[in-house]
Structure 1
Amino acid sequence: MFLKFALVGNPNCGKTTLFNEITGSTQYVGNWPGVTIEKREGKAKKIEGDIRIIDLPGIYSLSPYSMEEIIARDYIVNEKPDVVINIIDATNIERNMYLTTQLLELGVSVVVALNMMDAADAKGHKIDIGILESHLKVPVIPITASKGRGVTELLERALNVAQTAASAGGVPLFNEMHDESIISSIQEIEKNIIPNLNSKTENSRWTALKLLEGDEKVQETLQVPDALLSEIKLYQEKLERKYDMDIETIIADSRYQFTTSVARKAVKKKEQSSYLTVSDKIDKVVTNRILAIPLFLGMMFGIFSVTFGTIGSFTIDFVDELVNGTIANLFSSWLEVAGAAGWLKDLIVNGIIAGMGSMLVFVPQIMILFFFLSILEDTGYMARAAFVMDRLLRKLGLSGKSFIPMLIGFGCSVPAVMSTRTLENEKDRRLTIMLIPFMSCGARLPIYALYTAAFFSNNQTMVVFSLYLLGIVIAVLSGFVLKKTILKGEVAPFVMELPPYRIPTFKGLMIHMWDKGKGFVKKAGTIIFAAAVIIWFLQYFDFSFQAAADPGASILGAVGKAIAPIFTPLGFGDWKSAVALLTGFVAKEAVVSTMGILDGVSGATDGSVDLLTALQASFTPLTAYAFMAFSLLYLPCMAAFATIKREMNSWKWTLITAGYSTGVAWLVAFLIFQVGKLMGFS
């Protein structure tokens, strides 16, 4: 039996934790059709049968005010999942139930998952499940998703609802949620307006409510004629005169009164002490006006210390020996015994293995970094970081809301650019998208790791930390300049919910770490593999497609020499560096792969050691730092560039973004090299 269960809930209600608990490793991620917002889907592993779990975006309501709300509502209305599992935070039932009321109005089969029961118990909350079920008229299952408690029972109840249509969700609680005047208007619209629509609707009661509420998306979908809109306006005005407020507020207030009434009956809260809670005490420190930013920087420095310290170095040495030592020697011996042609051996050993191996050695470091970033996210600290940064950014004409996509940019620019859809102001969206390329994504990490290992082995943590900090500083300064010039406008207000602090689960951290890092691994098997083959081909042959006497005489050498003068004032005007930066547009990891191929053509199998030696012959510490700074700031990779074009919906702004970031990169690298040279650095 094939069934679809949709997970719906407020942000920070534990929806993602529940999704991970139900699906485990069977989940996959894509995009919703027609939009670039992440779609997560997986197969339930805790119950028999083919049950697909769809993780809808976190939302506070089904009103179409944001892309996430539109996606969630359209999926429920059009795709008709067999059951909607509504996750409610047990520590904040009253607020979370507002979304529940809209699901019940919609008339779908609902099962309520009352999550974080352990936190509610710890606060002394006494929740009467029977009262909740009697008022909501749907099953309510207490769970603690982070510990797996109640999850199996939740799925079994949902399966029962799907099989027997036992949920009363099909009988919306209009009479309990709304007073007689609202119900009367809904019935009148259902009777007098709905039959006259050209487009038919399956749920006339919900449609009537939406038309009364003035839902523009429903009006557009049903193509409601102006004459009928005028009739609906009469019902709205009648209610507005009676309640002395606008129609949207009237309907929303009616729902809130219902949730407040139910919560008062079902939830008995322990009388709050005047003493600060542990969470309050932590927030007094981490959001302190003076300590907050130094603490954030200190935390990031600590993460980099572990990532590039003893643990990170050990992982690099281990993987390097495995890939560039054992595997390369093994393939070299096999090819030698098999009598393979010299070009084929060179392609496999010095092309594919050298190219991919020089990048794969840094995968463990990237996973370590994402592991610690996942801890910060899962504990709730990252939300505090955005809140804290709002104070600084607002002084420069920016909003803390823009910092959230910028934080995501530390992982990957593609989802970071996608996440700007949550910004209401178009100028703020464009500004944030233009700043995201300055955030150091995970794909740049191999570049830093390679060059710091070659030139700053005793200060790797400090150097890498300074690069991340440089990206943030350039983004802030750029935001100030752009906001005063081509993107003038008022700063949007910043409102966000600070989730409660939680202790992350090891399983959840592993899943999050893999979600963030798997894109890097996938690139190794697809884009980087293809790039390694192409780069080897271009450096092996000249324009007459004969084997080049040396790489400098190859096709790639000619291209590199043509563009190298652009980088001469930056201190790295050799053709190999120029070509590596050019291939970095395909994927930033390709910079390292390219250097590995170009400097590994001697046939040696310990490619990484040879590469470090080759770099030390071509760069100095000063030019290496300038090169890393340029790699940090110049135009994003091809995937990010395409995403920017899709989100900007303008070639003009896309090219401005790419040109601006590359121009800034050139200027910053120029200043680093020239000023450093004047000061006597080498």
Structure 2
Amino acid sequence: MRIALAGNPNSGKTTLFNAITGKIEHVGNWPGVTVAKKEGDVKSDLTKSGNKIRVVDLPGAYSLSPFTSEESITSDFVKSADADVIINIVDATNLNRSLMFTTQLLELGLPVVVALNKVDLIEKKGISIDEKDLSLKLGCPVVKTSSIKGHGLQSLVDKAVSLKGGLQKAPYTGKSITEVTEKQEADDSDRERFAFVDKIVKEVESRNTESKKQTKHDSIDRIVAHKIWGIPIFAAIIYIVFSISQTYLGPLLADSLVGWIDSVYAYADGLMGETVSPILKTLLLDGIIGGVGAVVGFLPLIMVLFFLLALLEDSGYMARVAIVMDRHLKKVGLSGKSIIPMVIGTGCAIPGVMATRTIRDDRQRRTTAMLTPFMPCGAKLPVIALFAGVFFQDAAWVGTSMYFVAIAIVIFGALIVQRITKEGPSRGYFIMELPEYRIPSIKRAFISMFSRAKAFIIKAATIILLCNVAVQIMQSYSWGFHLVEEGMEGTSILASIASPFAWLLIPLGFGAWQLAAAAITGFIAKENVVGTLAVVYSISNFIDPEELSLVSGANDVASIMGLTSVAALSYLVFNLFTPPCFAAIGAMNAEMDSRKWLWAGIGFQFGMGYTVSYFVYQLGTLITTGSFGAGAFPGLIAVGIYFGILIYLMRRNESEVSMSMGGAA
């Protein structure tokens, strides 16, 4: 049996999907979290018959007449009758809006069960809904549920199973959406639908609250979502989050994990003894255990950060961040919806880029897909943590500043695209139902944290492990496959590949082939930067479990890398703001649906990362030493060429617009 879950965004649909399947799909307070259908089996304790029940979680939609690509997924799926039963999740706190979509589903003639969700909130709001009367008026079963608290799930599944193979028709007499072809007919149908829904709501719902009365949530929003104070408050919150995760609690929790990794390293070293081949021993100890362990050693710091961000999101605050940033993004030609992919992208760039499909305008969608990877994602956090610890004594301002540098780059990039395409400020409206503030669920935060930690560990055990093995082999052998002697690593395969790139990076302050090699492997997965540095510099782990600090002390590690603090900041910026991993680039390609935009986006990302890194190093060196760093003039030429291309594209577009206007005259 196959059940489809369909409903408006932010109706609790994915939370209900997780509750009845036991999965841990990401849940957010805004539309765009689910952008592709997800599938899972109903938990065995909810299936009385013991038969397999497949559930499909469809993207949120307001209508079966799709305006965005994720709405098309939902519309195509339900119209193709691929499901035996449709469970329509209806937000009980906003019945009027939700039932518009319900009437469209009912007109398809498929079995529909309405899950009247969020019933745990309606009593607090002074709302009462007669679900039996609602069922009679809609002509379909209605079950009260609370996806968060798990209420009504058994009844919902039982009712859906009982409807398999049946047909039903709502007592709605307006034109079917499949019959609407002309605009006037569509307008007439919508008016009839609104009138029908409005009549039902008035008869089944009663409210004891005063809609004009200002609530405590409104009072809080006047502060945290203020057009002036909103951004400083956001900056302070992010600073606190990074202080807890990167300076205090995170390193404390890393103690036991790093100690365990060191024990595995020592045990493997003793087990192999002196009889094992040196190259095999080096490969296992330094390439696999050391390289992967260096990345995994930062897992507690990342888990604490994800936990805190999950709490912020569950509290309803992150939705306010989207509202705060909306007014600024519109001025540079982006949609208000652009902030949603960027917030999602702080977890992982791939779903962030995929979330851009909620944006209708092609240019805005492609621009957002190009700019979203600039936001520091979970894969970049080990790099931030490493360099903040080695060169800046775990200062929380390092991670915090990277987020705001990313926002500045996004705004600058949007302005450039706006000038090239000659598009004005966005005139579209960003409409998003703000969730109520609530005490965040510790359980859901832990689930979110462990799901992301699981993905991190899987990546470390596959992509990062294989990459570190390849790096170790290439560093150990020359092109003639002769073992490279100690002190002659510059003759290795890895050095010969990375050295040409290292020359290009001299103006940025890090011209060593080891650092270039780590940056290159970062394009496979950003965590590889940490793993590769551990391999090429033979550092088994970056964190000392005894002192809860960087191994051998920050100064020793810094001297091994040969970087000043300014050059280290430049290297960090370069790795964060050049193109993302290959998987994220693949997502960009899919959402942009244009090779021209894809390559332009990759070129812009390379140029922007190089430019910001150049100015950080050269200006930082000038301030700290009184003179520019090495390669200042060649780097300035490279930056000048980059900006010259951007200016040329902007002026060429202006000329084309002028010529077209002259021809029209």
TM interval, short-chain normalised: 0.7 to 0.9
Describe the shift of the 1:414–1:27 C-alpha distance in structure 2 as closer, same or farther (beyond 3 A). closer
1:6 Cα deviation after fit: 1.4
Of structures 1 and 2, the one scoring higher in RCO (CA 8 A, sep 6+) is 2
Mapped partners of 2:375, 2:387: distance in 1: 19
Q: What are the Cα deviations for residues 245-284 of structure 1, in whole angstroms up to 9, with x where unaligned? A: 7111111221121111111111111141653122222222
Q: Which range moves more in the overlay, 605-614 or 586-595? A: 605-614
Per the alignment, residue 326 of structure 2 pairs with 390
Per the alignment, residue 495 of structure 1 pairs with 430
1:498 Cα deviation after fit: 2.2
Q: Which range moves more in the overlay, 386-395 or 267-276? A: 267-276
Give the partner amino acid of 2:328.
L
Mapped partners of 1:667, 1:423: distance in 2: 29
Give the partner amino acid of 1:615.
A
Mapped partners of 2:338, 2:212: distance in 1: 35
Mapped partners of 2:358, 2:251: distance in 1: 39
Mapped partners of 1:160, 1:27: distance in 2: 27
Per the alignment, residue 23 of structure 1 pairs with 21
Conservation of the 8 A alpha-carbon contact between 1:113 and 1:140: yes
Aligned residues: 607
1:604 Cα deviation after fit: 12
Please state if 1:658 is matched with 2:602. yes
Correspondence list, 1:140-159, <5 A: 140-159=142-161
Per the alignment, residue 417 of structure 1 pairs with 353
Please state if 1:648 is matched with 2:592. yes
Q: 2:264 aligns with which of 327, 330, 336?
A: 327
Per the alignment, residue 609 of structure 1 pairs with 551
Give the partner amino acid of 1:498.
E
Correspondence list, 1:119-268, <5 A: 119-162=121-164, 165=165, 170-173=167-170, 176-178=171-173, 182=175, 209-214=176-181, 246-268=184-206
Describe the shift of the 1:343–1:605 C-alpha distance in structure 2 as closer, same or farther (beyond 3 A). farther
Give the partner amino acid of 2:378.
G
Mapped partners of 1:122, 1:546: distance in 2: 74
Per the alignment, residue 200 of structure 1 pairs with none
Mapped partners of 1:661, 1:38: distance in 2: 27
Unmatched 5+ stretches in structure 1: 30-35, 183-208, 215-235, 237-244
Describe the shift of the 1:530–1:509 C-alpha distance in structure 2 as closer, same or farther (beyond 3 A). same
Describe the shift of the 1:541–1:680 C-alpha distance in structure 2 as closer, same or farther (beyond 3 A). same
Mapped partners of 1:388, 1:676: distance in 2: 32
Conservation of the 8 A alpha-carbon contact between 2:331 and 2:425: no
Mapped partners of 1:419, 1:605: distance in 2: 36
Per the alignment, residue 88 of structure 1 pairs with 90
Give the partner amino acid of 2:194.
Y
Mapped partners of 2:113, 2:440: distance in 1: 26
Q: What are the Cα deviations for residues 436-480 of structure 1, in whole angstroms up to 9, with x where unaligned? A: 2221111111111111111111x5211111112111111112212
Per the alignment, residue 496 of structure 2 pairs with 558
Conservation of the 8 A alpha-carbon contact between 1:28 and 1:41: no
Conservation of the 8 A alpha-carbon contact between 2:37 and 2:73: no
- TM-score w.r.t. length of structure 1: 0.84
Q: Which range moves more in the overlay, 443-452 or 672-681? A: 672-681
**SS at the partner of 1:178?**
coil
Per the alignment, residue 308 of structure 1 pairs with 246
Q: 1:581 aligns with which of 519, 542, 563?
A: 519
**SS at the partner of 1:19?**
helix
Mapped partners of 1:271, 1:603: distance in 2: 59
Q: 1:56 aligns with which of 42, 55, 58?
A: 58
Please state if 1:445 is matched with 2:440. no
Please state if 1:672 is matched with 2:616. yes
Conservation of the 8 A alpha-carbon contact between 1:21 and 1:145: yes
Mapped partners of 1:527, 1:653: distance in 2: 28
**SS at the partner of 1:114?**
strand
Q: What are the Cα deviations for residues 624-667 of structure 1, in whole angstroms up to 9, with x where unaligned? A: 11111111111111111122222223333222211211111111
Mapped partners of 2:63, 2:541: distance in 1: 62
Per the alignment, residue 661 of structure 2 pairs with none
1:603 Cα deviation after fit: 12
Describe the shift of the 1:604–1:487 C-alpha distance in structure 2 as closer, same or farther (beyond 3 A). closer
1:503 Cα deviation after fit: 3.6
Give the partner amino acid of 1:566.
L
Segments ≥4 residues shifted beyond 6 Å: 26-29, 601-608
Mapped partners of 2:542, 2:232: distance in 1: 46
1:77 Cα deviation after fit: 2.9
Correspondence list, 1:267-286, <5 A: 267-272=205-210, 274-286=212-224
Correspondence list, 1:620-639, <5 A: 620-639=564-583
Per the alignment, residue 8 of structure 2 pairs with 10
Give the partner amino acid of 1:177.
Y
**SS at the partner of 2:273?**
helix
**SS at the partner of 1:679?**
helix
Give the partner amino acid of 2:388.
T
Mapped partners of 2:450, 2:191: distance in 1: 43
Correspondence list, 1:428-467, <5 A: 428-457=364-393, 459-467=394-402
Per the alignment, residue 506 of structure 2 pairs with 568
Mapped partners of 1:383, 1:602: distance in 2: 41
Per the alignment, residue 662 of structure 2 pairs with none
Conservation of the 8 A alpha-carbon contact between 1:427 and 1:489: no
Give the partner amino acid of 1:677.
T
Give the partner amino acid of 2:491.
A
Q: What are the Cα deviations for residues 600-639 of structure 1, in whole angstroms up to 9, with x where unaligned? A: 1799998972695343331111111111111111111111
**SS at the partner of 1:84?**
strand
Per the alignment, residue 197 of structure 1 pairs with none
Describe the shift of the 1:512–1:451 C-alpha distance in structure 2 as closer, same or farther (beyond 3 A). same
Mapped partners of 2:406, 2:346: distance in 1: 10
Per the alignment, residue 404 of structure 2 pairs with 469
- TM-score w.r.t. length of structure 2: 0.87
Conservation of the 8 A alpha-carbon contact between 1:141 and 1:153: yes
Mapped partners of 1:515, 1:487: distance in 2: 43
Unmatched 5+ stretches in structure 2: 28-33, 627-665
Mapped partners of 1:435, 1:602: distance in 2: 35
Describe the shift of the 1:547–1:486 C-alpha distance in structure 2 as closer, same or farther (beyond 3 A). farther
Conservation of the 8 A alpha-carbon contact between 2:331 and 2:426: no
Give the partner amino acid of 1:300.
I
1:393 Cα deviation after fit: 2.1
**SS at the partner of 1:106?**
coil
Q: What are the Cα deviations for residues 127-150 of structure 1, in whole angstroms up to 9, with x where unaligned? A: 111111111121111112211111
Give the partner amino acid of 1:528.
I
Describe the shift of the 1:681–1:464 C-alpha distance in structure 2 as closer, same or farther (beyond 3 A). farther
**SS at the partner of 2:624?**
coil
Conservation of the 8 A alpha-carbon contact between 1:40 and 1:56: yes
Mapped partners of 2:582, 2:542: distance in 1: 32
Q: 1:381 aligns with which of 287, 299, 317?
A: 317
Mapped partners of 2:151, 2:481: distance in 1: 65
**SS at the partner of 1:351?**
helix
Per the alignment, residue 39 of structure 2 pairs with 41
Conservation of the 8 A alpha-carbon contact between 1:599 and 1:610: no
Conservation of the 8 A alpha-carbon contact between 2:376 and 2:576: yes
Mapped partners of 1:318, 1:383: distance in 2: 35
**SS at the partner of 1:11?**
coil
Give the partner amino acid of 1:424.
R
Per the alignment, residue 106 of structure 1 pairs with 108
